[in-house]
Amino acid sequence: MNGSPLWEVFVRSRNGLAHSHVGSLHAPDATMALHNARDVYTRRGEGTSIWVVRSSDIHASNPDEKDALFEPALDKAFRQATYFELPDEVKNL
Which parts of this chain interact with another protein (CB under 8 A)?
A: 1-4, 6, 23-29, 31-32, 39-40, 43-44
Q: How far is the CB of 90 from another protein (least distance, A)?
A: 43
Q: Let me know if 32 is exposed, middle or buried by CB neighbors in 10 A (0-12, 13-18, 19+).
A: middle
- 20 or 48, CB closer to another protein? 20
Q: d(Cα 65, Cα 61) in Å, to the nearest integer?
A: 8
Q: Which CB atom, from 29 or from 68, has the smaller least distance to another protein? A: 29
CB nearer another protein, residue 57 or residue 88: 57
Number of H helices, E strands in the chain: 2, 3
Least gap, CB of 65 to another protein (angstroms)? 16
Query: Are 35 and 82 a contacting pair, CB within 8 Å?
Result: no
| Residue 30 C-beta: closest distance to another protein, Å | 9
